[in-house]
Amino acid sequence: MALRNILNLNDAMDAEILRKKSRPVEKIDERIRTILDDMAETLYDSGGVGLAAPQVGILRRIVVIDIGEGLIELINPEILETEGVQEDAEGCLSIPGKSGNVARPERVKLKALNRNGEEVTYEGTGLLARAFCHETDHLDGILYIDKATEIWEGEE
């Protein structure tokens, strides 16, 4: 396993990558599993709750999340259903030193593939629902600052 460098929106070259749309993973092999392992290690090292592959310079639809309830690995995630609305502060590892208020669904149902290529579904509320939305947005080059009603200095 290896730590990966997290791209920073303040860097022009990093920003260009963060704004690109990621491609689906077509074949889940050892290379993809290594990326998952490295992303998890990088996430835990960062102290964040979620990390998307484009944030480490890989334009593939891969996400890792841990809100303190165990690691969730998502390959080619797709949001199936959303319900309700919650408005709360969020931040992003690629936008250090800032936070913003973002409205997100209160409940999110999502499907994805796991590291063995099996289809898995997750249902999350609160912070997990927020993380599902924030991280899948990254795969389309969308950042929370695009949706925030208010942005301020300081990390959440």
Q: Which residue has the tokens 């963060």?
A: 18
Shortest CB 27 distance to Ni ion, Å: 26
Pairwise CA distance, residues 20 & 132, whole Å: 19
CB-count burial class (<10 Å; 0-12, 13-18, 19+) for 73: buried
Partner residues linked to 81 by β-bridges: 109
35 or 92: whose CB is closer to Ni ion? 92
Pairwise CA distance, residues 40 & 44, whole Å: 6
Shortest CB 18 distance to Ni ion, Å: 9
28 or 127: whose CB is closer to Ni ion? 127
Pairwise CA distance, residues 150 & 11, whole Å: 22
64 or 75: whose CB is closer to Ni ion? 64
Residues in the chain: 156
Q: Which residue is nearest to Ni ion (CB)?
A: 92
Shortest CB 118 distance to Ni ion, Å: 26
Is 135 annotated as catalytic?
A: yes
C-alpha distances (whole Å) from 97 to each of 9, 35, 102, 153, 155 are: 11, 26, 16, 6, 5
Catalytic entry in 135, 150, 153, 156: 135
Shortest CB 25 distance to Ni ion, Å: 19
Binding footprint of Ni ion on the chain (CB under 5 A) = 92
56 or 92: whose CB is closer to Ni ion? 92
Catalytic positions, written as ranges? 135
